[in-house]
Chain A
Amino acid sequence: MSDFIEIGSINDIPLRGARVVRTHHGDIAVFRTATGNVYALDEYLPGKAGPLSNGIQHDEKVTDPMYNWVFDLTTGEALGADEGKVETYEVKCVAGRIHIAAKAVIPSVAAE
């Protein structure tokens, strides 16, 4: 099977907006920043932060709505004094469609 799976159109996510992808091992937040870049990260840092797709975006960062942790969308790392990291997943846009790494969403591939 292909390494990437299509999840929707780029227009499904407004600029500075985010949407969720549901998977068997938890939700993934897909962000589209003001400059049009698309990132996929785990929706939750269990016990610490999330749901990140509900946060306010600024530059390539998002502020967690629960405790105001700020995460770098490019690395998933918490910035500032907070320490933690959410998993990031490869995404790419081809002809206006968003594709996510298949191993992020399909359990059988993740297990390989």
Chain B
Amino acid sequence: MTQKLIIIGAGMAAGRALEHLFEVAPNAYDVTLFNAEPRGTYNRIMLSPVLSGDKVFDEIVTHTAEWYEENGVTPRFGEKIVNIDRSAQTVTSENGEVLHYDKLIIATGSNPFIIPLPGHDLNGVIAYRDLEDTNTMIALGDKPGAKAVVIGGGLLGLEAAAGLALRGVDVTVVHIMGHLMERQLDEAAGYLLRKALVDKGITVKCSANSKEILGENGKVKALLLDDGTELPCDLLVMAVGIRPSVALAAEAGLATGRGIHVDDQMVTSDENILSLGECVEHNGDIFGLVAPIFDQAKVIAKTLAGEEAAFSNKEVATKLKVTGCDLFSAGDFADADGREDIVFRDPARGVYKRLVIEDNRIVGAVMYGDTADGNWFFGLIKDREDISEMRDTLIFGPAYQGGSPLDPMAAVAALPDDTEICGCNGISKAQIIAAINDGAHTLDAVKSISKAGSSCGSCVGLVGDLLSFTLGDEFKMPEKEVVCKCTDLSHDDVRKLIVAKELKSIPQAMQELDWKTTCGCHVCRPALNYYMVCAWPGTYEDDGKSRFVNERVHANIQKDGTYSVVPRMLGGITTPNELRAIADAADKFDVPTVKVTGGQRIDLLGVKKEDLPAIWYDLGKAGMMSGQAYAKGLRTVKTCVGSDHCRFGTQDSTGLGIQIEDAMWGAWSPHKFKLAVSGCPRNCAEATCKDLGIICVDSGYQILVGGAAGLDLRETDLLVQVATEEEAIEVSCAFYQLYREGAQYLHRPYKWIAKVGLDWVKERVVDDLENRKALAERFHYSQKFYQIDPWAERAKQGVDAHEFAPIADFTKVEAE
């Protein structure tokens, strides 16, 4: 006998459940289908292509009026059910009609979550849920200059944003978390996704908190963030998540939690009422993706047909439906003990793949840019297959066992044709490739024909890559020294690519330059950090955690874990007051050793780490600042007493030394940089073994460079003689800047000069006056951001306070 089945809700879950029901029990039920939306079942997932214009609504309708008629379903669309009477087994529709049921399916789905921000009820604030929302967004595209803000950088929010952008709307995505789609993607894939969206003209703001929606005449005008930023908009789309729609079920007295409680057979706490889809809660899980819901549809059909079936929740995979943003995520990719990563990056194609391995099984996969193998990896996750046999080639996918290694040329291949490869001679990538195509098949030939790489030589690595890339196996690259095991690139390559590709963070550089490890090592992190400090003064955020401990805590670590403290004394000049303050500090902090250094400073050795801020505070009160005796940067300017006191002195060497140190302190460089100024050729300040030394003579100032008195002993070479103090200072700053911009990390100037040649340095600093001025200006610009006393910041403003104090001290706790 035919039973009465009433279904509340005609979403995708109900549509699929009916299909299965008619398969397994064609004539068992007389079905009435209620839907609050004035239409039948359509593929809600495909609203995004409708929004973007790839599809029209009719194409995504899954169940037509004819289908309902053929299968004997009575549609009641646009009609809400307002009440369920379980004892009478009836439902009441909004116009008061009461209908009897034998079985009832609740498929009310979910409601979009609206953040209760002030102004959330303004006109023009919508969710992204149904065809009405979609049509509102489409209509906005017809308005010239329209602006929209999307709150939520998850799957739905990004699809809304991409669709709006395609409709010509100026879109900003506001996301509260640090990177997009944080539930599905790790940081690296989030970065690539963000980049692709920015390329589409979408503005993306992460770590952004919404504060208030501003309106005018009842209509949305702008979104105000809690940092005070105002984002003007004509439409505000909230896509921050969904809540199961449980009100009707709860009012009927069914067991509910976050969703309507169902058992494995999809039956609620009332045996005649079943439920499925986004409104249910099963074993504590709720559902937002279609795959498990379609499984529920199968189970519910069998339950209604009286067959055995049980639902169990399985792994799900996610794909984003935005043209040009190909991403895939499945399983669990959080870091945890015993988990390892296999990472593949191809920056030229914007590809990132990461597999998370645990006990020889893949437990998670994130892919961006090339997701062709996603389903294969997903299968391995679901089947918990042992991958130890194919581990070496796993990341290349099913078709590629025992494949070739990554393409080291990828980063170079991706550069635009007009990128300047040789900065000395202004030669672009296209010009070099033209030279190669004209027959220059060796490095030397390219150098002589195009002039690229013929000056300082720092671009030779990139020129070599271009030869390999253009000629293939015909060109054999000479061995080059790579930065570390994390990359195939040399220091010169990395420096040039950071500038050419405008790389402004360490994670970005590692992705774009194809780093082989997830987050580098103690060799490459400090180098990358310095290169960015140098390339982007004022915009790069210095990463202290990528610095050696001395530069992080601004003191020199000693063998017993204590630190040494050296206050700055410009030009080696001090005062009785400073000496008294140093003596008092040494007493107060029980400093075991006080030593005069080779650089004419006073070193307080053996200071406990936790005392550093306090001793700096005392020294700071006496007017002293950090001497940066720990820095890969400007160290000291030694001077002799000069013409003020010495009968041989030709110029005021002390005064010049003070001026130079005053201009240069605080600067970071590839390695330490030491100077000295001697007042006459007797050279009491020992200027001829410094990185830069000045010898005063009657006719002016001899500027000497490239000395060393460490592991190597080297006398300086004469760079130039100038007539005035101003010129001496300008040449010194220009030379320092040229070294800062060109040398590889941890190379002192003498090593760098040996590589580029003194003549090359002279051309830039001595002969070309305009270039000298430009270098000095770049140096002074950079100094605006780096001449900050790190001691004062830490002693007075509490910067990095966590570095100095223990988190807990149990030596003061009595044992029980």
Which 6 residue pairs of A and B lie closest in terms of their CB atoms, listed nearest first? Answer: A63-B522, A35-B335, A19-B807, A54-B549, A7-B808, A16-B545
- From A7, A24, A54, A63, residue with most partner B Cβ within 10 Å: A54
Query: Is the CB–CB distance between B813 and A106 below 8 Å?
Result: yes
Number of A-B contacts (CB under 8 A): 99
Interchain nearest-CB distance for B168 vs A (Å)? 40
Q: Within B765-816, which residues are at the interface with A (CB < 8 Å)? A: 802-803, 805-811, 813, 815-816
Asked whether any CB of chain A lies closer than 8 Å to the CB of B548, the reply is yes
Chain B residue with the shortest CB-CB distance to A24? B811
Partner-contacting stretch, out of B117-125, B513-521, B570-578, B754-762: B513-521
Inter-chain contact A56/B561, CB cutoff 8 Å: no
Q: Is the CB of B816 within 8 A of A106?
A: yes
Name B residues whose Cβ lies closer than 8 Å to a Cβ of A: 334-338, 517-522, 525-526, 545-549, 552-553, 557, 559, 561, 802-803, 805-811, 813, 815-816
**A23 touching B525 by the CB < 8 A rule?**
no
Is the pair B810, A105 in contact by a Cβ cutoff of 8 Å? Answer: yes
Minimum distance in angstroms from B716 CB to a CB of chain A: 31
Q: Is the CB of B811 within 8 A of A22?
A: yes
Q: Are A21 and B807 in contact (CB under 8 A)?
A: yes
Decide if A58 touches B525 in the complex (CB within 8 Å).
yes
Total residues of chain A contacting the partner, CB 8 A: 43
Q: With a CB–CB cut-off of 8 A, which chain A residues contact B335?
A: 33, 35-37, 60
Decide: B522 and A22 in contact? CB cutoff 8 A.
no
B807 contacts which chain A residues (CB < 8 A)? 7-8, 12-13, 19-21, 30, 98
Q: Please pick, from B518, B549, B553, B559, the residue contacting A59 in the complex, using a CB distance under 8 A.
A: B518
- Most B CB contacts (10 A, CB to CB) among A1, A35, A50 go to A35
Q: Give 1 or 0 for each of A17-46: 1 = CB within 8 Å of chain B CB.
A: 101111110010010011111000000100
Q: Is the CB of A65 within 8 A of B519?
A: no
A70 within 8 A of partner (CB): yes
Which residue of B has the minimal Cβ distance to A110? B815
Cβ of B561 and Cβ of A58 under 8 Å apart? no
Given contacts A16-B545, A51-B561, are A63 and B521 in contact (CB under 8 A)?
yes
CB distance from B487 to the nearest CB of A (A): 13
Contacts known (A14-B802, A58-B525, A74-B337); A106 close to B517, Cβ less than 8 A = no
> Is A55 an interface residue, CB under 8 A from the partner?
yes
State which residues 98-112 of A face B: CB under 8 Å.
98, 105-108
Report how far A35 CA is from B178 CA in the complex, Å.
Answer: 13
- Report the minimal beta-carbon distance from A65 to chain B, rounded to whole angstroms: 5
- Checking A17, A33, A56 against B526 with a beta-carbon cut-off of 8 angstroms, the contacting residue is A56
25 A-B residue contacts at CB 8 Å? A7-B808, A8-B807, A12-B807, A13-B807, A14-B545, A14-B802, A16-B545, A19-B802, A19-B805, A21-B806, A21-B808, A24-B815, A30-B807, A34-B519, A37-B337, A44-B561, A51-B561, A54-B557, A55-B549, A56-B548, A58-B522, A59-B518, A65-B557, A70-B521, A108-B816
> Which residues of A have CB within 8 Å of B553?
54
Residue among A12, A59, A66, A70 with the highest chain B CB neighbour number at 10 A: A59
* Contact residues in A for B803 (Cβ distance below 8 Å): 17
Interchain CA distance A30-B809 in the complex, whole Å = 13
